[in-house]
Amino acid sequence: MTLPVQDGEIWTFTVRAFDSPIPGHTINVNYDGFAEDVKVGDELLIDGGMVRFEVIQKIGPDVKCLCTDPGLLLPRANLTFWRDGKLVSERNAMLPTISSKDWLDIDFGIAEGVDFIAVSFVKSAEVIKHLKSYIKAHSPNSDIAVIAKIESIDSLKNLEEIIQASDGAMVARGDLGAQIPLEQVPSEQQRIVQLCRQLNKPVIVASQLLESMIEYPIPTRAEVADISEAVRQRGDALMLSGESAMGQYPEKALSVLKSASLRIERSWREQKHHEVIELPSIASSFTGSISEEICNSAAQMANNLEVDALFVYTKNGHMASLLSRCRPDCPIFAFTTTTSVRRRLNLQWGLTPFRLSFSNDMENNLNKTFSLLKARGMVRSGDLIIAVSDILQSIQVMNVP
């Protein structure tokens, strides 16, 4: 439940458990070392500054605080405390990234065959590697991808190694904005998005995209501009959180996010914004280098020839992700034989994936996909398409019959 906080009010932050309803003006903190770590005079920030308090008294597990900047307290809000203008991370820095409860949740996710597991407050690549080895040991045949949530100063310090070790990243701006100055968040968002693209890892921009729609049926113009910036930075996905988890208008918020994103991308394509961007080679083998060159060339040709679609036939999804990385101006249809690969490709920019049985006979593969997409109204006879394949390491240009 959202609670209004007024200037000058005294609130109690406590780690004690209550059997009965929590008393008024009391906030339960799920960080056991809170009362020991905080000091009188510290400044408490809720959700990066949604509400501000000053610590005025400590009584056992209870910390009395004076509201110095009023606002709204949201459920499961993030709390940080600052001392002499600096973020305090004493015992908090020693908390495990993956808790004992998290391991139970991970076991459940593995058993249910989830596609992604996102890890909060990742401090180093070792956390990601440890989780991946655990998944491999408990489910050798699983394709579960691990997403690193970038939401702390430690994440930013070790950003490249974390992204390299992960299968993707999330810019978790709410918690990140509680640990760095708010004015620094946009530039860090852009840095994370660009680095993920360079390293061919999908990136999700999340938190507070349509925050006002938790309580109101329409967004602010500033929120739509924020969505526009995330789309123009070429992130792979935008994610709602509080808007859909506890907001009053979850379906409407999703509709606004979708329509705004599609309109901005359509405008980008109509204006022929062919990006000139240097994408570093990420291949670790000669075969990988061939795939990269094929995809880079196919994307460039697609833009120059103004083709109607790109087709990619891929067994493990890698070639589809390489095409997505190039951000061509036409739709990309990806065909794979594996259901888990098809689901995972949904996260990547511009891809519409299908599970389809195909062979080494490209002509037969093309005829199958032409029939499938024409029946769905996704391509028409006469459309110009480019087809690439990691089966034959080939590239073809043709018209839809």
pLDDT at site 392? 82
Query: Residue 363 pLDDT more than 60?
Result: yes
Judge if 290 and 377 occupy the same domain: yes
Query: Residue 93 pLDDT more than 50?
Result: no
The pLDDT-based confidence of 273 (bands split at 50, 70, 90) is low
**Stretch 245-251: mean pLDDT:** 94
SS3 call for 300: helix
The pLDDT-based confidence of 276 (bands split at 50, 70, 90) is low
Residue 397 placed within a domain: no
Judge if 75 and 114 occupy the same domain: no
Q: What's the DSSP call for residue 316? A: S
Domain CATH number, residue 309: 3.40.1380.20
Nearest CA to 168 among 184, 150, 152, 151? 150
Judge if 314 and 382 occupy the same domain: yes
**Which residue range(s) make up the domain with 140?**
100-271
Longest dimension (CA), the chain: 78
Query: Model's pTM, two decimal places?
Result: 0.82
Judge if 30 and 135 occupy the same domain: no
Domain CATH number, residue 48: 2.40.33.10
Judge if 71 and 113 occupy the same domain: no
Residue 129 placed within a domain: yes
pLDDT at site 92? 47
- The b-or-e profile of 179-210 (16+ CB within 10 A means b, else e) is bbeeeebeebbbebbebbbbbbbbbbbbbbbb
